[in-house]
A and B are shown apart, each in its own frame.
Chain A
Amino acid sequence: MKNTTISIAWRNIRRNKARSLVIMISVAIGVAGAVLADGFMEGMSEQRIRSAISNEISNIQIHNPQFLLNKETEFTIAGADGIVEKIKSLQEVKGISRRFITNGMASSAEAGAMVSILGISPDTESQVSSLSQHIVGGKYLAEAQRLPVFIGEKLSKKLNLNIDDKLILTFTNRDGEITSGAFNITGIYKTTNDNFDKTEVFVKNDELKRLAGYPSGTVNEIAILLKSNELTSSTVRKLDGLLAPQIKEGKLIVQSWKELAPVVKSMSDTMNFFSMLFLMVILIALAFAIINTMLMSIMERTREFGMLTALGMNKRKIFEMILSETLFLSIFGAAAGLILSALGIQYFSAAGFDLSSVAGGMNSIGYDSVIYPDVKFTFYATAMAMVIIIAVLSSLWPAAKAMRLRPAEAIRENE
C-alpha cells in the first residue's frame, strides 16, 4: 500500500463491479461515439479539401486582382515568365501551371451550358492537377491532337455528348466579338464535385489563345502545387515577399486555397466545431451519469465515510479518494472507448465507408460518397483531456456530500 487514498479508491472501484462496469461502458461508448463522429466529419472534410486542392484549386494561385472580380480574360498577369522563375526557386513547390481562362458557352446540338474554359498546357497542368487520374472515358488532352477538349461527366450528360463528339465553345474574343470553335471531346473526367464537373472544361493553351486573339504569353492564373499542404501558409508568405513590388502596385495577388475556396475551408471549420460540440454534449451527459454513480456509491458508504472522518481522515484526503475513484472510472472507460474507436477508424480508413446507398446526393455538394474517416491525434488527446476535466468536475458534488458528513451522525446510520 503506497498511497492510502488512491489504493482505497482503486479497491472501491472493484467493490461494486457491475456498477463500475456499467459506468465505464457508458463512458467508453460515449467517447467512442464522439471519436467516430469526428472521424467521419474529419474524413469528409479532409477528402473535400484534398480533392479541392488536387483537382480544382491546387495549394496557391496567383492572379491579377481585377481578374478575381469577374474573371475577365483581359486582366492578365504581367511578366508571368519572370514570376514563374521566382516560384520555381522555392523548394516547397512541386508543380506550376499557367492557365489562360475565358468564360463562355459550351453547346451541343441539343443543349448549352455556361462554362469556364481553361487553356492549359497538358504537361505542366498535370504537375499541379490530378484531374488526369479521374478519367472515366477517353484520355487526357494530347499534344498531338487538334482542338481537343477535356470535360466533366456531368457536362457530357447534360449536353448528351460522348468521346469523339464535337463540342462547340463560344466566347468573346479580345476585340469583343463573339467567336466559337468546334472542339473534339477526347476525355471525360469525374470528380466528387458535380458542380466542378459541370462547369470546368479544359483545352490547349495555345489553341484557346489563338481563337481568343491573345498573344501566346498571356496568363490569367498561375496555379502552384506544393509538396505538402502544411506548407501553404508559409509559402504564401514567402511568395508575398518575393513578389512584393508587384503586389504593392496592385498588379498581383497571391492566395491560398483557403481564400480561394472559403466554403471548403469554412465547412471544414464548421465540422471541426460540431465534432467538438458533439464531444462536449456527450461528456456533459456522461458527467451526470458519473455524478449519479458516485452519489449512490457514497450514500451506500455513509457510515464508512463517517468512520474515516472520525478516525482522523481529513477532508482533503476524502476528496482525493473520491476524485481518484471518479478518475479511475472515467479514465478507464475513456481509454477503452478511445482504443475501440481507434481500431474502428483504422479499419474504415482503409476500407472506406460507402454512404452512397443512404446519402446519394453527396457529390452534388462536392463531397465523396465513400468516406475514409480520419481522426487527428489531437482529437484523441483533447477527448482524453476533456474526460479528465469532466471527471474532476463530476467529483465535486459527490465529494462535497462526503466531506459534509458529520461523523457522529454518519456512524449512527444503519447501525
Chain B
Amino acid sequence: MSIIKAEGIFKTYNETSVPVHALNGVDLEINNGEFMAIVGPSGCGKTTLLNITGGLDLPDKGKIFIDGTNLGGLSSKELIDFRLHNIGFVFQASNLIPVLTVKENIEFIMMLQNRPKAERDGKVEELLNAVGIIGKADYKPGQLSGGQQQRVAVARALATNPRYIIADEPTANLDSASTRELLDLMAEMNEKYGTTFVFATHDQRVMDRAKRIVTLEDGKITGDKTISK
C-alpha cells in the first residue's frame, strides 16, 4: 500500500536572477514501511523533493498525496496540523530546541499534540531507552555529541507516532561509529514500528543500508532500484 504518491511534480525557484528548475516532473510512489534513500549529485533537487513530500513546501505543478490526503488541498493551518500528526522530521543538524532538555525536546512535540502527561512520560521513557540515551535525559542538546543529538532527533520524530519520517542528510555531520549507530537505530524502528523512512543523502553508508534507492539528476528521477538483501 502506498503512503506517499507524488504525481508530475515541478518546482522552480524564482528568487535568483536566473530561475532554478529544481524539480522537472517527478513521479514517485513510496510504500508503507519502506526504508529508502534519495541520492544524486549536489543540487539535483533531493532536499526540494523531500520537503515537498514532507509537506514543508508545495510544488508549482503536480500533486502530492500522503495517505490519500492531497496536501495541495489543505490550508496552511491544516498543513501544519497534518505535519504534526503524520510526519516526523530529522534534519542535518541543530534539530533540537537548545533551551529544552533532551527529555523536554521529546515531550514538547507531544504537548503540541495535546497528549496527556502520563502518556507523554511513558513515551519519553520508552524512546529514550530505544535510542540509548536514557542517562542524558536532563542534558541540554549542547551537552551532547552530534551523534547523540541525532538520536534524540530520531526519538522526537518517533514521539508523535508518525507513519512516515523524512530525514535530510541525517548523517552528514557524524563519524562512522555514530553513523552506524544511528542507522541501526532507524532500521530497528523501521522494523519495530513499521515507520516509513525516507532519506536524502550523499552518504554511501546510508545507501548501503537502504532497501530502495531513488536517483535524482537535474530534477528528474533517473534510477529506482529495490535492493533485496
- Point out residues on A near B: beta carbons under 8 Å: 1, 4, 8, 11-12, 14-15, 303-304, 307-315, 317, 406-408, 411-412, 415
Contact = CB atoms under 8 A, between A and B. Distances in A.
Given A309-B80, A312-B80, A313-B112, A12 B99 contact: yes
Quick one: which of A303, A304, A415 has the most chain B CB within 10 A? A415
A312 B104 contact: no
Quick one: which of A11, A311, A407 has the most chain B CB within 10 A? A311
Given A310-B83, A315-B77, A15 B104 contact: no
Given A312-B80, A408-B56, A415-B92, A11 B85 contact: no
Given A4-B111, A312-B84, 14 more contacts: A1-B100, A8-B99, A8-B108, A11-B100, A307-B89, A310-B56, A310-B89, A311-B84, A311-B89, A312-B80, A313-B84, A314-B77, A314-B84, A407-B56
Contacts of A307: 89, 91, 94-95
A4 B91 contact: no
Quick one: which of A11, A308, A311, A312 has the most chain B CB within 10 A? A312
A331 to B, nearest CB: 19
Interface of B: 47, 51, 54, 56-57, 77, 80-81, 83-85, 89, 91-95, 97-100, 104, 107-109, 111-113, 156, 160
A415 B97 contact: no
Q: Would you list the 3 A-B pairs with minimal beta carbon distance, nearest first? A: A312-B84, A11-B99, A408-B57
Contact of B108 (A1, A14, A309): A1
Q: Is the interface of A mostly helix, strand, loop or mixed?
A: helix
A107 to B, nearest CB: 83
A23 B154 CA distance: 37
Contact of A312 (B85, B98, B100, B107): B85
A315 B79 CA distance: 12
B94 A8 contact: no
B64 to A, nearest CB: 13
Given A8-B100, A408-B56, A312 B109 contact: yes
B98 A4 contact: no
Contacts of A408: 51, 56-57
B24 to A, nearest CB: 18
B84 A1 contact: no
A304 B98 CA distance: 9
A303 to B, nearest CB: 7
B81 A312 contact: yes
Contacts of B83: 310-312
Contacts of B54: 310
Contacts of A304: 94, 97-98
B107 A1 contact: yes
Contacts of A8: 97, 99-100, 108
A311 to B, nearest CB: 6
Contact of A314 (B57, B81, B100, B104): B81
A1 B107 CA distance: 9
Nearest to A317: B112
B6 to A, nearest CB: 16
A307 B88 CA distance: 12
Contacts of B89: 307, 310-311
Contact of B80 (A1, A303, A314): A314
A308 B91 CA distance: 12
A304 B89 CA distance: 13
B82 to A, nearest CB: 8
A38 B95 CA distance: 50
A4 B93 CA distance: 23
Contacts of A411: 56, 91
A8 B111 CA distance: 12
B160 to A, nearest CB: 8
B109 A415 contact: no
Contacts of A315: 77, 80
Nearest to B13: A409
A14 B100 CA distance: 12
A309 B87 CA distance: 12
Contacts of A407: 56-57
11 contacts: A4-B108, A4-B112, A8-B100, A304-B97, A308-B97, A309-B80, A310-B89, A312-B83, A312-B84, A314-B81, A407-B56
A399 to B, nearest CB: 16
A307 B85 CA distance: 15
A235 B93 CA distance: 75
Nearest to A13: B99
Contacts of A412: 47
A314 B114 CA distance: 13
Nearest to B88: A311
Contacts of A4: 108, 111-112
Quick one: which of B85, B98, B99, B100 has the most chain A CB within 10 A? B99
Contacts of B108: 1, 4, 8
Nearest to A9: B99
Contacts of B99: 8, 11-12, 14-15
B56 to A, nearest CB: 4
Contacts of A317: 112
A405 B93 CA distance: 19
A4 B120 CA distance: 13
Contacts of A303: 94
A4 to B, nearest CB: 5
B89 to A, nearest CB: 6
Nearest to A415: B92
Contacts of B84: 311-314
A81 to B, nearest CB: 80
Nearest to A409: B57
Contacts of B85: 312
B31 to A, nearest CB: 24
B94 to A, nearest CB: 7
Quick one: which of A1, A315, A406 has the most chain B CB within 10 A? A1
